[in-house]
Amino acid sequence: MTETVFTNATLVLPDEIRHGAIVIRDGVIAEIGSASVTGIDCAGDLIAPGLIELHTDNLERHIQPRPGVNWPHGAAIIAHDAELAGCGITTVFDALRVGSINRDNSYAKYARGLADEILAARPNLRISHRIHLRAEVCSETLIEELAEFGRADRIGIVSLMDHTPGQRQFRDLSKLAQYVKGKQGMSDLEFEAHVAGLAELRARFGEAHEAATVQAARDWGAVLASHDDTTADHVATSAAYGIKLAEFPTTVEAAQACRKHGIATIMGAPNLIRGGSHSGNVSAGELAQAGLLDIVSSDYVPAALLSSAVLLGDLWDDLARGFATVTAAPARSAGLSDRGRLGLGLRADLIRVARIQGMPVIRETWVAGRRVA
């Protein structure tokens, strides 16, 4: 039997913040009590559940650290895993795109091979890794790529991604031009061809790709998510598909419709911290103020997840509620009942956090009772 005791801690419980102690034994939370026991003196630091990340593109940044530079996948996975552990993330759904465009090297197929590498590496990684498939409707090979996956892959989330120019995330084509030209170095003519090509793919394959994605998620028992809902009609379609998680709604109208249909909303931490969307869409802060923000994702900045929890806690004057957006709420939406809260019998996925000049700083990260950072 292995046991670790944290004492003199500020415990972030599901509905309150309380001074006390917590005991982890054989990988689970065994006791939550007073501070008068002997153990690791936390000096008042926060002890919170480990952070749960539902949608991150961070692994892609490690695989291609610069445009045109490809890094060995094994080394990239290890570096990505270590970075997340150091940021207090104890469970991650690594987002992999399925659906490629044969004529476009920037949209080449990669998901099946990378998923195999992640799954093979899992026993040696610090935190819990699961798969999130981002199904690109505007592609040529989505149905074929979905067919390469099955229940044995333990796909946790499948999201419907419709990047047709002029709607959803990039209603403003000038924002899309800024993003694509900057990332891929396109000329004006190349950008015009890119926009026309995506629109043509949506017209040819859109309905079939949506239907195949919905069916695949059902077959695998995965959570089905929408992406960039903009209108109440978008949300109504999502609800008809059985979607319960809306990633990055782009308007207040869409977020309000999500609330009406019982769909949880997830917004990006960079949007929240920067004070707005880089695509010109609704700010996460506006949705938080309106009570329409349920979950936060680090998206492309892992360290932003913890900062967002504290920022929201300060905004709402309720630190427990702020932390819930990155712990209990994502766990619930992903169907993970064994983590995301400080509760007896739950996995001992914990973080120790100090606040230095208001800034949250990770002191320790524990996964299933083992310190990993």
Are residues 92 and 220 both part of a single domain? yes
- Say what the pLDDT of residue 6 is: 96
Let me know if residue 187 belongs to a domain: no
Are residues 123 and 15 both part of a single domain? no
Are residues 144 and 34 both part of a single domain? no
Are residues 215 and 294 both part of a single domain? yes
Pairwise CA distance, residues 264 & 255, whole Å: 9
**Residue 129, domain CATH:** 3.20.20.140
Q: Locate 57 and state its tokens.
A: 């593109």
- Within 8 A by CB and 6+ apart from 238, the residues are 160, 226, 229, 246, 261, 263
- Say what the pLDDT of residue 106 is: 63
- Say what the pLDDT of residue 40 is: 94
Pairwise CA distance, residues 223 & 266, whole Å: 14
Are residues 38 and 55 both part of a single domain? no
The 10 Å Cβ neighbour count of residue 207 is 11
Pairwise CA distance, residues 213 & 136, whole Å: 9
Are residues 6 and 87 both part of a single domain? no
Q: How many domains does the chain fold into?
A: 2
**Residue 371, domain CATH:** 2.30.40.10
Pairwise CA distance, residues 277 & 295, whole Å: 16
Let me know if residue 38 belongs to a domain: yes
Are residues 153 and 277 both part of a single domain? yes
Let me know if residue 29 belongs to a domain: yes
Let me know if residue 173 belongs to a domain: no
Q: Is 346 left (phi over 0), alpha (psi -120 to 50) or beta?
A: beta
Q: Mean pLDDT of residues grouped by 10 in the chain (373 residues)?
A: 92 96 96 84 97 95 88 97 98 95 77 96 97 92 96 94 66 59 61 67 83 96 94 95 95 96 97 84 95 96 97 97 98 98 98 95 97 98
Let me know if residue 120 belongs to a domain: yes
Residue 206: give the domain boundaries: 51-164+199-337
Are residues 333 and 346 both part of a single domain? no
Let me know if residue 121 belongs to a domain: yes
Let me know if residue 9 belongs to a domain: yes
The 10 Å Cβ neighbour count of residue 342 is 23
- Say what the pLDDT of residue 22 is: 96
Are residues 325 and 345 both part of a single domain? no
- Say what the pLDDT of residue 280 is: 73
Are residues 153 and 271 both part of a single domain? yes
Are residues 136 and 256 both part of a single domain? yes
Residue 365 carries which DSSP code? Answer: E
Instruction: State whether residue 223 is helix, strand or coil.
Output: strand
- Say what the pLDDT of residue 164 is: 64
Are residues 24 and 144 both part of a single domain? no
